[in-house]
Amino acid sequence: MKIDEILKKKRTLSFEVFPPKKGSLGIEKIFKTIDELKALNPDYISVTYGAGGSNRNSNVEIASYIKNQAKIEALAHLTGGPSSYSDIDEIVKKLHSEGIENILALRGDKPIDFNDDYCKTFKHATDLMEYLKDEDFTLAGACYPEGHNECESLYEDLAHMKEKEQAGAKFFVTQVFYDNEYYYRLVSEARKAGIKSPIIPGIMPLVSHKSIPSIKNMCGASIPLDFRNMLEVYKDDPELLEEFGINYAVYQIEDLIAKGAPGIHLYIMNRASIAKKIYERLENVFSKLFWYISYCIFLFGI
């Protein structure tokens, strides 16, 4: 089923997984993670596409497992930056053959060790979307509550979002953020700019002190002072820090759902245990509120 059709009926709960770094090594572990996530009743699971186009075969294999073995909708990431037309054609053929109906179309960031010209064919995510628009996929786009690091302002970023929507994006998934006000600002300004597609907030529980620099550098996410101070307090106690990070994610999610977010997308770093802990603390919120919204749509057409 196409994810945009699901979004018309209910709020969604979804997770992201990523392929193992070395080909098929560890892929069974990813399958086990997916099986564990299935117990949490996600509406879809996304699977990333390796930097520079690496692990593309694993991407398709994992997406197929999600769709055909776990019986969950799959959202396959597809990165245009390093790819040629023939590269994309090959992957699209494989995705079609496995019954995958949803693609998150990205330009992708150039890996540090990538020496060749990165964007040979698809300079922007919109170029990839335009190329895919007749392929009968539901296309999703990425967006950035704190702005993309290559954009000079939020409004330049919004212009790119609008272009993605015009190129075929049916919904957006945000980059990580730790201050919900950035998400609310993005949604408000996007609506003013005429962007109508659902904007799903992406939440990554911060459960390891050593991950802080990479989150700030790679994701561009700022960390609120009070949150950062508490992370420092717990930095020498990994168990307490993980507990605090999970509780903070729960706080974010409760606030987002209460204020009308169309779904929650969890970046769990392939750790089903983290997803389970969050789900257990929010199970009533997820089941009751998501059911209520679906019922209202059915009953009143809202």
Average pLDDT over residues 262-268: 97
Q: Tokens representing 118?
A: 């990165």
Neighbours of 111 (CB within 10 A): 15
pLDDT band at 302 (very low <50, low <70, confident <90, very high): very low
What pLDDT sits at residue 216? Answer: 72
pLDDT surpassing 90 at residue 118: no
* Alpha-carbon gap, residue 105 to 138, rounded angstroms: 10
Pick the residue with more confidence: 227 or 56? 227
3-state SS, residue 163: helix
* Alpha-carbon gap, residue 142 to 154, rounded angstroms: 14
Average pLDDT over residues 86-115: 86
Q: Which domains does the chain have, with CATH numbers?
A: 3-300 (3.20.20.220)
For residue 263, give Cα distances in angstroms to 6, 13, 277, 296: 11, 6, 18, 16
For 162-211, write each residue's pLDDT tens digit.
Answer: 999 999 999 999 999 999 999 999 999 999 999 999 999 999 999 998 88
Q: Identify the CA nearest to 18 among candidates 82, 83, 88, 77.
A: 77
What pLDDT sits at residue 99? Answer: 98
Threshold 0.75, pTM exceeds: yes
Residues 12/264, Cβ–Cβ less than 8 Å? yes
**What are the catalytic residues?**
16
Considering Cα of 208, then 213, then 216, then 219, what sign does the dihedral take? negative
For residue 94, give Cα distances in angstroms to 61, 98, 143: 9, 6, 27
